[in-house]
Amino acid sequence: MTAEVSFTIDTPRGPRPTSVAYRRRGSGEPLLLLHGIGHHLQAWDPVFDLLAADRDVIAVDLPGFGASPGLPDGVSYDLAGVVPVLGALCEALGIDRPHVAGNSLGGLLALELGRAGLVRSVTALSPAGFWTPPERQYAFAVLRTMRQIAMALPLPLVERLSRTAAGRTALTSTIYARPGRRSPEAVVAETLALCDAPGFAKTLAAGQTVQVTEDVPGVPVTVAWGSKDRLLPRRQGVRAKRAIPGARLIRLPGCGHVPMNDDPALVTRVVLDGSRPVGVPLGAAAQLA
């Protein structure tokens, strides 16, 4: 069940109210889940209950995506604008320095939350920002094309395509290595989420200047990359390791850009290991690096 929390953030025009949609379940240390651009919190559905067996899991719709409204006027969709909103969200939910796991854009935000000292640990799945300029140009072109196609398709056609494995492959193979595993309902919902995201264009524009080169000191970091990521090639993971030398770099065999759907059990192990309480030894996922 999705809920909504309202809170106030500082803007150049003074304090402004905003709200964020989220889903929360489980017990244990808090774990914040952040999705990628054009997606919604349901991207985490394949692993949500598995994670909630060991963590207090909070999956959110980022501002301007899913059921969350766009940011107030005067607040940018860059890291400097969104990270404080996520910090205010945690405060509103009574969460003190959660662990965070993010995918793509969510991974980029997770790393920035780590640099700001707002989280206990970071697990970044195919995080944005470790690209070369041509790789960024390619990824952004693919994302724009995906959205244009989604907006051009009539809903009845999307529903018809989603009923077959071939149709789901046509709609989602850019981000999933195993699109046939996605349910028809999930494919329809995420296609609509991509169409309706008011934050999409502004987030993409803000990403034009992003190039991650800084370390994330003082926070345990795990970076995981799907071996079949078609959007952000896995060689970007090597650059992430160079920028964050203390990070654990893990390969996700057979996974695409959004690996939670492709191998839920593996992603669950990686996230749980990355968000383990201090003093608890690593589990099986530690051997995958």
Which pLDDT value is given to residue 13?
81
- Residue-level length of the chain: 289
* Closest among 133, 82, 91 to 110, alpha carbons compared: 82
Q: What share of the chain is helix, strand, coil (3-state, %, to 5)?
A: 45, 20, 35
Which pLDDT value is given to residue 285?
42
Planar angle of CA 191, 86, 93, nearest 5 degrees? 105
Which pLDDT value is given to residue 277?
74
- For the chain, list the domains and their CATH numbers: 3-288 (3.40.50.1820)
What is the chain's pLDDT, residue by residue, as a tens digit (289 residues)?
Answer: 899 999 999 888 889 999 999 999 999 999 999 999 999 999 999 999 999 999 999 999 999 999 999 999 889 999 999 999 999 999 999 999 999 999 999 999 999 999 999 999 999 999 999 999 999 999 999 999 999 999 999 999 999 999 999 999 999 999 999 998 999 999 999 999 999 999 999 999 999 999 999 999 999 999 999 999 999 999 999 999 999 999 999 999 999 999 999 999 999 999 999 998 765 555 544 444 3
For tokens 């390791």, name the residue.
241
Q: Whole-structure pTM over 0.85, yes or no?
A: yes
Which pLDDT value is given to residue 281?
57
How remote is the C-alpha of 243 from its chain's centroid? Answer: 20
Cα–Cα distance for residue pair 62/213, rounded to 1 Å: 24
Cα–Cα distance for residue pair 17/43, rounded to 1 Å: 26
Residue-wise DSSP of 19-85: EEEEEEEE-SSEEEEE--TT--GGGGHHHHHHHHTTSEEEEEPPTTSTTSPPPPTT--SSHHHHHHH
Residues 258/176, Cβ–Cβ less than 8 Å = yes
Which pLDDT value is given to residue 116?
96
